Structure formats: structure tokens, C-alpha cells
Amino acid sequence: MQTSSFPREGMWLKGNYHSHTTLSDGMLSPEEQLRRYKLQNYHFLAFTDHNAMNDRVQWNEGILMLPAWERDILYGEKTKCTHIVGLFDLKSPSDTTLRRPKGDKHTITDQALIDQMRKDGNVFISIAHPTWSRMEPEELLSLDHYHAIEVFNYGCECLSHEGHAEYLWDFLLRHGKRIFGIACDDTHGHTIKDDHFGGWMMVKSKAYDRQSIIEAMQAGHFYSTSGPEIHDWGIDEEGNAFITTSLCREIHFITYPTRGKSFAGYLTETTFPLKGGETYVRVECIDFAGNKAWTNPIFLQDR
């Protein structure tokens, strides 16, 4: 018998939780940004303009808007920073604006910012583009009370080939952090090619409403992708990790402290016998165009 990592009941919803408009440093108006994601049949979207949250409920026709923002800390160096994305609960006020003067320096710690965001009503918090932000592994390890990091940020990949953070994610998982991995666009429009539709989430939600989507994200009931589909994945009663996907050329099972295994071929389903002693297992799938999908970890101590 196979035990899925995803709920059996519910619906798959496609969404991007990180994007920018002319309300901060994006090139597109909210109306145009929304139009583009509607045309690509996204189910939900968040405008995460810097240090300003707007509910955007007036644009909920054909796509569900999640109230969100991106908070940032700037350091003395031009390259190093910390950016954190937060989704609000449904009780938080709309059109909340908290802006610091342009060029604000490091006046608050990373942890204090996370704690402040939680106090302000953010119920899902993720570390944005840690590779692009020049965050060190030990910095991330020192932080608590966040849900995820961006394992793939398409905007940063288009900007400077710094969109991937798999190594940082595994570093945190190896050290006992129970966090999820998210793919997103982080659309600005400043890159040499269009930074839309390159990374997204597929959320298994019990219903098509904001609360259900946020609850599914909090529970890790999603996978992230830049192309491949993951139909199911989990652990069977014999202790084998399994996954079924759209056609892929590679499937990689990543585990710790024992090592996982890689498979190659024309793959749509793969099984990997766990060795025992693993603290977590996650999977990466790569299709024949080189696009990748990421499962969230299963924490094996819980089984």
C-alpha cells in the first residue's frame, strides 16, 4: 500500500506567490500583471511589492489574489541583503503600508524582522532568493519561525543566473530545519528576457479559496516546478519512496545522512528503497527540456 504525501481529497491549483508591480519596483501595472497570469490559467497570485501590502480583492475575477508583501533589509554593501516574503491571514487589514526611507541600512536583525512579520499577521513566511541575496548557510541556520526558502527564483535566474538554492535548502534540512522549498517568478521586468511563468507552485487544496490555499501551504501540500508535473509521491508500507510524474529524463532521490539515488531514462514512475536511518527524503525531477520540479521533504522521524 502506498501512502501519498499529498491529501487524497482536494484540487490542484497553480499559483505564483512572488511578483512585483509599479507599486514598488516592477515594470508592469497591477492590472497588466494580473492580465498576464490570467491568460496563463493561474489559479492564484500574490503581489509582493516591497514594504507595502494591498489585498487586491477588487481584482479577484478569474484568479484568486493572496494578500502579501516583501520586506527587506539593506546592508552597507551593495550586494548583500535579506528579503522575506509573507502571506497575510484573512483578518489582517487591507492596504497596509509600512515603508522605510529609501536606502535604509541594517537597522533590524533578520530574526527580528521575521518576528515582526508574524506579529503583523503573516501566517506563511519564506526567505526570498537566498543565493542572490548572498546569504550564508550559517545565517539561514540561525533563523527560526519561517516556513520555506525559495529553492528556485526565476527572476534571479534570468537576472544573474542566481536563482537556485538547493544546496542551502539541503544544508538546512541536514541540520534539522523543517522547511519547504518554493519556486516562483519574482517578476520585475528588468531582465534580458521575460521573467514570467518560469517557476510556480502546484498546491493540493481542499477548496478554491484563500484560507484553504494558505492552510495547504502551511502543511506543505504542494510541489514546485518549472515544468515537470508530479502526480503523486510518498512512502509505501515496505519503506520505499515512490514518485509518479510526467515524462522525465532524470529523477533524483535526495536523503540524509545515508545517500539517495539518481535514475535516468524515459521515466514516469520510480521507486527507491530507503536504507533506514534517513532523516528526510525529497525528490527532484528533470524533464527533457531541462526543466525541474521539486517535492517537499518527507521527515522520516515522523513515521
pLDDT score of 92: 55
% of residues, the chain, pLDDT over 90: 73
Q: Averaged over 161-181, what is the pLDDT?
A: 97
pLDDT score of 89: 82
Question: What does the longest C-alpha to C-alpha distance in the chain come to?
Answer: 58
ω into 257 cis (within 30 of 0)? yes
- CATH 3.20.20.140 in the chain is located at 9-225
Report how far residue 8's alpha carbon sits from residue 59's, in angstroms, rounded to the nearest whole number: 31
User: Does 112 have pLDDT greater than 90?
Assistant: yes
pLDDT score of 302: 76
> Higher model confidence: residue 252 or residue 65?
252
User: Does 303 have pLDDT greater than 90?
Assistant: no
User: Does 30 have pLDDT greater than 50?
Assistant: yes
Lowest mean pLDDT among 82-96, 99-113, 142-156, 164-178: 99-113
CB-based burial label for 47 (10 Å; 0-12, 13-18, 19+): buried
pLDDT score of 253: 98
pLDDT score of 193: 75
DSSP 168: H
- Quote helix, strand, coil % in the chain, to nearest 5: 20, 35, 45
Under 8 Å between Cβ of 173 and 179: yes
* 201-254: pLDDT as tens digits: 999 999 999 999 999 999 999 999 999 999 999 999 899 999 999 999 999 999
Q: Averaged over 277-286, what is the pLDDT?
A: 97
Positive or negative: CA dihedral 220, 13, 128, 66: negative
pLDDT score of 100: 43
- In the beta sheet, which residues pair with residue 230? 245
> Higher model confidence: residue 75 or residue 213?
213
- CATH 2.60.40.4070 in the chain is located at 230-302
Q: Averaged over 9-17, what is the pLDDT?
A: 97
**Domain 230-302, CATH class in plain words:** mainly beta
E strand spans, 155-290: 180-184, 200-205, 222-225, 230-236, 240-256, 261-273, 280-286
- What is the number of other CB atoms lying within 10 angstroms of the CB of residue 189? 18
User: Does 143 have pLDDT greater than 90?
Assistant: yes
CA neighbor of 200 nearest in space, from 6, 33, 46, 11: 46
Q: Averaged over 100-112, what is the pLDDT?
A: 64
Place of cell 516562483: 184
**E strand or H helix that includes residue 30:** helix 30-39
- To the nearest whole number, what is the mean pLDDT of the chain? 90
Residue 177 pLDDT grade (very low, low, confident, very high; cuts 50, 70, 90): very high
pLDDT score of 59: 56
**Domain 9-225, CATH class in plain words:** alpha beta
Lowest mean pLDDT among 62-66, 134-138, 186-190, 287-291: 186-190
E strand spans, 90-221: 96-97, 122-127, 148-153, 180-184, 200-205
Report how far residue 111's alpha carbon sits from residue 97's, in angstroms, rounded to the nearest whole number: 21
